[in-house]
Amino acid sequence: MTFTALNLTPAVLNALPSRLSSPTRIQNQAIPAALAGSDLLAMAQTGSGKTLAFGLPLLQRIEKDNSGIQGASVQGVVLVPTRELAAQVNAALQEIATPMGIKTVMLCGGVEPALQIAELNAAPQLLVATPGRLLDFIHQNIVTLNKVKHLVLDEADRLLEMGFWPDVQRLIAAMPAKRQTLLFSATLPAELESAAMALLFKPVRIEAHEKNSVVEDIEERLYLVNKGSKAQALIALIKQHNWQQVLVFVSERNAADALAKKLIKAGVSVAALHGDKDQTARESTLADFKAGKITVLVSTDLLSRGIHIDALPVVINADLPPNAPVYVHRVGRTARAGENGLALSLVCHGEQDALAAIRQLTGRELALNELDGFPVTDKPAEAATTGERKRAPRDKKANRRSNTKRSIKQFKPKAN
């Protein structure tokens, strides 16, 4: 099937980049439903083309809404959880919007507000925004959303979580109740589904792929290693395979910097990316990685959602995420747009609960393997395997002896 079979107007079809020849599964299913004006809850794997699945019908309907209107107000809003994803989505939509005469503006933190205010003066019809900056502009009466007809929540499950949900609710309250709402995500935990459905009116539900599933083109390998051996194991794997581009995920900002320093000492070209970096540094680092100027990028989950890196061959979890859906998003940075990819995870005994949650969510076996040269000497916590307390009997006796002492002199060692 081609895009011409999806009821898209000549204006949209003529604006499509030549590299886009045929729609993906999610595009094939979502575009006609969205063009019909239905609310959507659409689930599809990472890298499956969700941006254009909501973007093409959104642009077509904005073009129709704004026909003949001078200085049209904001008609559509796309909400995303991170600055990096906002930039990517905005660039993808702008490539098609500009030839159609539709103005888009990206609003996110980390950018000088005056620059974004200047762009807003051009009367854009479409905003791609992170919730915090958009809400800030609404409070300052810089932006009004009372004419919005189309709302998209990209990476909807993340936006429904408590960190974003209050701001999202305030933004929705600033929009007309009568509007089209499209929710797109690769994962949707059961506990968030009721919140998602409450935003929608008689929605069409689309599951282009099994919910919470991992792309079949991703080869997953998991290695059991000592917690203290992870950095050396990572270095050994990178040097052994001579990978030219590797995205490494860690769960904490401090861990990203610490791991990057160890890789630098090992002679690996590396940079760290996390929320403590300013926006200019983040954009520059990501651009250098995409351009192949950096071999290894160590990142927090800032890059786990939606970010596209052409033909990224390898993703490595230096530690498992405590939130199981994040695993699906992390490994989804590879094997995008029909490419093959490899996802490695370095797992220690202390991460067994996280691994069990990931196995349950994805329905995959995810067997643990040995890594040559890195024998596991750490032992599982006794309490986790036997239910017994870890402390040895002699430690208890030592505590009892200490409890009987009443003077500091009694703690002094005896003379030999």
Query: What is d(CA 165, CA 194) in angstroms, rounded to the nearest whole number?
Result: 13
Beta strands in 253-402 (DSSP E): 270-273, 296-299, 314-317, 341-347, 368-369
Tens-digit pLDDT profile for residues 217-249:
789 999 999 999 999 999 999 999 999 999 999
Beta bridge partners of 369: 223
Reported residue count of the chain is: 416
Tokens of 401: 């002896």
Nearest to 3 by CA among 414, 14, 260, 64: 14
**Are the CB atoms for 349 and 355 separated by under 8 Å?**
no
Task: Look at residue 292 in the predicted model and tell me its pLDDT.
Answer: 93
Strands of the 368-369 sheet, one edge to the other: 270-273, 296-299, 246-249, 314-317, 341-347, 218-224, 368-369
- DSSP-derived letter for residue 164 is T
DSSP class of residue 4? G
What's the pLDDT score for residue 415?
Answer: 45
What pLDDT is stored for residue 135 in this prediction? 97
Global pTM value: 0.76
Q: Give me the residues of the chain with pLDDT under 50, please.
A: 68-71, 383-416
Phi, psi of 21 (to 5 degrees): -100, -40
Neighbours of 267 (CB within 10 A): 9
Q: What is the pLDDT of residues 154-189, one digit of tens each?
A: 999 999 987 899 999 999 999 999 999 999 998 888
Q: Which residue has the tokens 């040097």?
A: 239
* Residues carrying CATH 3.40.50.300, the chain: 3-207, 218-378
pLDDT for position 65: 67
Looking at 1.10.3720.10, 3.40.50.300, 3.40.220.10, 3.40.50.1260, the CATH number of the domain 3-207 comes to: 3.40.50.300
Which of the 8 DSSP states describes residue 7? T
Q: How far is CA 245 from CA 13, 260, 302, 397, in A?
A: 34, 15, 18, 55
**So what's the architecture of 218-378 in CATH?**
3-Layer(aba) Sandwich (3.40)
- CA distance from start to end of the chain: 90
Whole-number Å distance between alpha carbons of 383 and 377: 18
The phi, psi pair for 349, rounded to 5°, reads: -55, -35
Looking at 67-209, list the stretches that DSSP marks H as alpha helix, in order from N- to C-terminal side.
Answer: 83-97, 113-120, 131-139, 156-159, 165-173, 190-198
Q: State which amino acid sits at residue 33.
A: A
Q: How far apart are CA 329 and CA 85, in angstroms?
A: 13
Could you identify the residue written with the tokens 């506990």?
191
Q: Is-contact 85 152, C-beta < 8 A? A: no
